[in-house]
Structure formats: C-alpha cells, structure tokens
Amino acid sequence: MTNSKACLAAALCSLLFLSTFLSSAHSASCCLSYSRRRPPCKLLLGYSIQTITGSCDLPAVILHLPGKFLCADPSMRWTQKLQLCVEERKRKAAQVLNTSAD
C-alpha cells in the first residue's frame, strides 16, 4: 500500500517537473513581453527576429547575450541601433577574414 502511494507521488512529481520544464522551454523560444534593459553593443553575440506566428503573438528582436536572451521592441530606436551595431561588427569581421585570406 505505501509502495503504491510512493510510486503515485513519484509519478505526480515527475509530471509536474516535466510540465514546468516544457512551459519554460516554450517561453524561452517565444518573447511574451519586451525587456526594458538596454545592453551595450559590446555584450551582444547576435540577434534574431521573432515574427507573429502561432503562439508567438508579439513581434520582437531577440538579443543574444552570453547565457541569456532579451526581448526588445523592434520599433524602438535603441533596438534598431543595436541591430546596426551587430551588423557592423559582422561586416568588419568578414573584411578581416577576407583580407587575411588574400
């Protein structure tokens, strides 16, 4: 009797853990709100664009930082400046690679 209760409790805990993990994994891949933080460009590793599809009903720029992501409003000027900064760094890195390959 106590063995079956222990198994039931373990199964319920496993389901709770799994549902928590799945919901957090979903929200990590979909911006639900915008961050107010404005990270410096030098910390950005890159960015990606979130369009309105399926359950992601918020257009966003997902800023890639070491160990985390921030969701930014694509209509904000500071977001656009960060995107330009990342693109400029990529362009300069490509020039360096092309120059060293010659």
pLDDT tens figures, 55-97? 899 999 999 999 999 999 999 999 999 999 999 999 999 988 8
pLDDT-based confidence at residue 5 (cuts at 50, 70, 90):
low
66 and 84 assigned to the same domain: yes
Q: Which of 59, 98, 91 is nearest to 75 (CA)?
A: 59
CA–CA distance, 12 with 5 (Å, rounded to integer): 10
Per-residue pLDDT, 88: 96
Decide if 9 contacts 17 (C-beta within 8 A).
Answer: no
> What CATH number has the domain bearing residue 61?
2.40.50.40
Range of the domain at 86: 31-101
